[in-house]
Structure 1
Amino acid sequence: MAVQLDHTIVHAHDRRVSAEFLAEVLGLAVGSPMGPFLPVDTGNGVTLDYYQTDGDFTPGHYAFLVPDEEFDTMIGRLERMRVTYFADPGHTEPGRINTLFGGRGAYFDDPSGHNMEIITRPYAR
């Protein structure tokens, strides 16, 4: 068996708010709590386990490969939620998407300050 990522912990100021935010944008469901964690299953065997903390943490970057036919729907959800999205990771091109590697992509912040990314094509490696 090849090594695979199973889950990762995502620190949040409010685990429910952050988990529900991501689930809504991506069209996913929030799972039942597992101890201190609130999971969002991405559907490819990887779970983001939201963990609430009152302390400081360094925001991370999470990139999601999404179906091209669902990208516009996700952008529409961000717009409906009044969340600004950007074409670049530095957030200097608001309201725009990128077309890297023949796909489409956008960046946005979640409620805890994590830099989220949706892309329709994986980056060239």
Structure 2
Amino acid sequence: MLADLLGVPWSPVALGPFAPVFVNEGLTLDFIETQEDFPVYHFCFRVTQDEFDQILGRIKHAGIPYRSSVRGPVDMQVNTDYGGNMIYWNLPDGHQWEMLTVSYARQLA
């Protein structure tokens, strides 16, 4: 589902125990099915404005609730506090996902 939302390729055939999502040439997220307890993580993707618009469209089309703040209510709004666009959403596994166009942590060179 994440690959579909981000519009990136993934391998429907597991490579070993993993189902990889190929985010870009330098980042692959490997997912594994497990019955073990695991912590909930926060993942953030910095994307271009065009990519943001496309991904947000796919999130809306999929009916995924999203919010404008990290721990706020599901308000279906886009945060513009840092001069760009930012949203957060959670999937049933509990992980928190963030997408932004302008990093509040560091600027691209």
Same fold (TM over 0.5): yes
> How far apart, CA to CA, are the structure 2 residues paired with 1:124 and 1:54?
34
Bigger helix share? 1
Runs of 4+, deviation exceeding 6 Å: none
| 3-state SS of paired residue (1:106) | strand
Structure 1 contact 22–110 (Cα < 8 Å) conserved: no
Instruction: State the aligned residue count.
Output: 105
Q: Is the 8 A contact 1:101 1:124 kept in 2?
A: no
> Structure 1, unaligned stretches of length 5 or more?
1-20
- Report what 1:79 is aligned to: 60
Q: Work out whether 1:26 is the aligned partner of 2:26.
A: no
Unmatched runs of 5 consecutive residues or more in structure 2: none
Partner of residue 91, structure 1: 72
Decide whether the 8 Å contact of 1:38 with 1:50 is kept in 2.
yes
Do the aligned partners of 1:87 and 1:107 also contact (CA within 8 Å) in 2? yes
- The alpha carbon displacement at 1:55 in A equals 2.1
Report the counterpart of residue 37 of structure 1 in structure 2: 18
User: RMSD between aligned alpha carbons?
Assistant: 1.5
Indicate whether 1:102 and 2:94 are aligned: no
